[in-house]
Amino acid sequence: MNSAQFNALIRQAKNKDEQAVIILNKFCINVIRRHLSLKFNSRQEVEDWAHDIFVYKILSNLPDKLILHPVAWLYKISDNYVYTELKKQKRTLEYKDDIYSDQEFVDLYHKYMLEKVLKDEDELTVKILVLNLHYGYTFEDIGILLKMKPATARQRASRVKRKIRYKKSQNPNKFSL
Q: Report d(CA 47, CA 29) in Å as an integer.
A: 8
Q: What is the pLDDT of residues 126-143, one digit of tens each?
A: 888 878 877 788 899 888
Predicted confidence band at 39 (pLDDT cuts at 50, 70, 90)? Answer: confident
- According to the model, what pLDDT value does residue 151 have? 93
64-114 pLDDT tens trace: 787 788 888 888 888 888 888 877 766 443 333 434 445 555 555 566 666
What would the CATH number be for the domain defined by 102-170?
1.10.10
